[in-house]
Amino acid sequence: MIRQYDRKLVLENGTEIPGYSFGAVEDKVLELVFNTSMVGYQEIISDPSYTDQAVVMTYPLIGNYGMSDEDYESKNPSIGALIVREYNDEPSSWRSDRTLGEVMEQYHIAGISGVDTRRITRMIREFGSCKVLLTNIVTSREEALQILNNTELKRDQVSRVSVREPYVSEASDAEADTAGKAFHVVAIDCGMKLNIVRELNRHDCRVTVVPYDTTADEIKALKPDGIFISNGPGDPEDATEVISAVKELKGQYPMFGICLGHQIISLAYGAKTYKLKFGHRGGNHPVMDRETGKIEMTSQNHSYAVNEDSVKGTGLEVTHINLLDNTVEGMRCEKDKVFSVQYHPESAPGPCDSGYLFDRFVKLMES
């Protein structure tokens, strides 16, 4: 029996792309982006940075190793949709607890398969990220365009994915015995991946995770040795509460920011950010350390970048550059013991070339 198309994508330019449903069958208006990672779809769908986005996976086969309880990057995945060439509903991995489709259905993540992901990716690269409607195959093109025109993408993502109450994650006793000295890190959660907390714990840090709107005075009361600003979704300029806290705290504690945290630090120092045409999402981006000349392969997921010209006179200096498009990938202020990177040194998924940055953060706290 030949399966009939039951869902479709409708882009802002009117392009219609039919496919087959999997996961949650829900109509959604989302931002259309693509990811070039060859593995790691579980980490991708559970990364809060993808909130309200429809992610096109360029690797053609998705779902083949299922889902494992150990590999989530958040407890409540908030990605909008997953768009794939071929969906496999019969995973073969011994680690698999459930299928990808079952998890997507539970968390209201829409899915569409059987589409030409290469074509969609080329369209995004040529015309940029755009709004897309996932809808029933019978929805007319005129009706779909009217929905797209009348629907604004949300801008409150950080407030929706951040923790509601603080919690503490302790380093294991074995790690503490090895490292000899524990440090207390307050991590501002803007949509933080769980592997960041795991990495800090592995480096013998006790981590207190706090909501995005925690004030500077509340953070000071926790008596941290260092402050971490996490990754997260959306426009960094919308995270006004975090920017204000960082402005007040910079120079008082060692500080480390990743992805959105990198952009927030730049804004707190007076630099500017801008939206990229189609962002960086994948596990193969070459980044050069300007000081050493060393090139790292990095994991990335972001729509915005720091304007390099705006960094001048802020007290920050650019330390890392993306070799694909020369965008800013890292900054520091030596005087304040502050540094940040645009990419993901905790990987999950992606290469682990940049794990040394957690060691650098620990050394700043030691000093």
Domain match, 175 and 108 both: no
1 occurs within a structural domain:
no
Strand partners, 367: none
Domain match, 26 and 106 both: yes
**What is the 8-class DSSP label of residue 17?**
E
Domain match, 54 and 142 both: yes
**Token output for 329:** 């990938």
Q: Are strands 81-83 and 110-113 parallel, antiparallel or unpaired?
A: parallel
d(CA 180, CA 171): 12
| Annotated catalytic residue, options 203, 262, 280, 344 | 344
The last residue of a domain, from among 122, 154, 186: 154
Domain match, 144 and 180 both: no
pLDDT at 18: 98
The yes-or-no verdict on residue 106 having pLDDT over 60 is: yes
362 occurs within a structural domain:
yes
The yes-or-no verdict on residue 41 having pLDDT over 70 is: yes
Task: Give residue-wise pLDDT tens across range 47-59.
Answer: 999 999 999 999 9
Q: DSSP for 154-207, please give it.
A: P--HHHHHS-SS-EEEPPPHHHHHHHS--EEEEEE-SS--HHHHHHHHHTTEEE
The yes-or-no verdict on residue 174 having pLDDT over 60 is: no
Do residues 206 and 184 lie in contact, with contact meaning Cβ atoms separated by under 8 Å? yes
Task: Give residue-wise pLDDT tens across range 192-234.
Answer: 999 999 999 999 999 999 999 999 999 999 999 999 999 999 9
Model confidence, pTM: 0.95
**Token output for 274:** 């801008």
The yes-or-no verdict on residue 171 having pLDDT over 70 is: yes
Domain match, 302 and 244 both: yes
- Min mean pLDDT across 76-85, 142-151, 175-184 is at 175-184
**Residue 333 among the catalytic residues:** no
18 occurs within a structural domain:
yes
**Residue 259 among the catalytic residues:** yes
Task: Give residue-wise pLDDT tens across range 65-89.
Answer: 999 999 999 999 999 999 999 999 9
| Annotated catalytic residue, options 31, 259, 262, 285 | 259
Percent of the chain with pLDDT over 90: 96
Q: Which of 160, 170, 167, 218 is nearest to 190 (CA)?
A: 160
Report angle CA 40, 129, 108 to the nearest 5 degrees. 50
Question: How sure is the predictor about 1, in pLDDT bands with cuts at 50, 70 and 90?
Answer: low
Task: Give residue-wise pLDDT tens across range 316-352.
Answer: 999 999 999 999 999 999 999 999 999 999 999 999 9
Question: How sure is the predictor about 177, in pLDDT bands with cuts at 50, 70 and 90?
Answer: very low
**Residue 346 among the catalytic residues:** yes
Helix axes 260-268, 240-249, angle to 10 degrees: 60
pLDDT at 181: 62
Domain match, 135 and 165 both: no
Residue 264 sits in which domain range?
159-366
Do residues 235 and 211 lie in contact, with contact meaning Cβ atoms separated by under 8 Å? no
SS3 label, residue 85: coil
